[in-house]
Amino acid sequence: MVLQFSQTTYTAYKRFRLIQPNAIQEGKNEEINIPIYNDMGEAIGKSMDLSTLKFDVRIVQGSTLPVNRWAYLEELKQLLQLGVVDDIAVLAETDIKNKENIVKRKSLYAQLSGQVEQLNEAIKDKEGTIETLERQLVQAGIKQKVMQADVEINKKKEEVKSQMGKEFIETEGKQKLLRNVMSNNVESQKQQAGNMLQSVKNSLESKTGSS
């Protein structure tokens, strides 16, 4: 009856302010019977013509009773604690003002929280990468020191071998010289002994001839 009455009564241009059109929005403006003009400025029709619009009317029994609303809100709170619904569903059924702004802030907070979590994950990944690089640097430094030690050891080995080779050559030369000296001494002693033996023989022969 109200719908039929409104379509018959409101034939001129009207602007309505709807209070809480849904559970989140506080209010919004709606216009009906908006005139449509041609290039000559003449009204040739209407936009959102209420008399021609068709609506579905839904009647919810007891939806505005305070006891049912608070009981439903209490039930939502319990469901929120169980994790069945989220806080936005509970907020939609309350009488708090500026619900739309609260939802926007919560959405922004959720986005920022997600970004912070992503940044934390990225920082953890970078920290892990840095630790891996540090370990690799330490291992590379150890390998480099081991290689340097190997080079030094090989260098010392070559130096020792070279020194031993020189000493061996010098020792061999000294031994050869010593053998030559000893050989010459032996020959000299042999010659001296031969000379002494010859002189003794000569002495004996001279004594024998004189007797």
Q: Which amino acid is at 177?
A: L
pLDDT greater than 70 at residue 139:
yes
User: Could you tell me the CA-to-CA distances from 87 to 20, 84, 90, 92 in Å, in that order?
Assistant: 19, 10, 5, 9
Instruction: Note the pLDDT of residue 178.
Output: 77
What residues form DSSP beta bridges with 28?
A: 18
How confident is residue 81, by pLDDT bands cut at 50, 70 and 90? confident
Instruction: Note the pLDDT of residue 77.
Output: 84
pLDDT digits (tens, 9 = 90+) for 157-186: 888 777 777 777 777 777 777 777 777 777
User: What mean pLDDT is predicted for residues 45-49?
Assistant: 83
pLDDT greater than 80 at residue 138:
yes
d(CA 136, CA 45): 79
User: What mean pLDDT is predicted for residues 151-155?
Assistant: 84
Instruction: Note the pLDDT of residue 112.
Output: 79
Instruction: Note the pLDDT of residue 11.
Output: 84
Instruction: Note the pLDDT of residue 38.
Output: 87
Instruction: Note the pLDDT of residue 99.
Output: 75
Q: Which residues contact 21 (CB under 8 A, 6 or more apart)?
A: 27, 28
Buried b (16+ CB within 10 A) or exposed e, 177-189: eeeeeeeeeeeee
DSSP structure string for 56-117: -----TTTT-HHHHHHHHHHHHHHHHHTSS-HHHHHHTS--S-HHHHHHHHHHHHHHHHHHH
d(CA 98, CA 100): 5
Residue 11 DSSP class: -
Instruction: Note the pLDDT of residue 53.
Output: 78
Answer yes or no: pTM beyond 0.75.
Answer: no
pLDDT digits (tens, 9 = 90+) for 11-33: 888 888 877 666 666 677 888 88
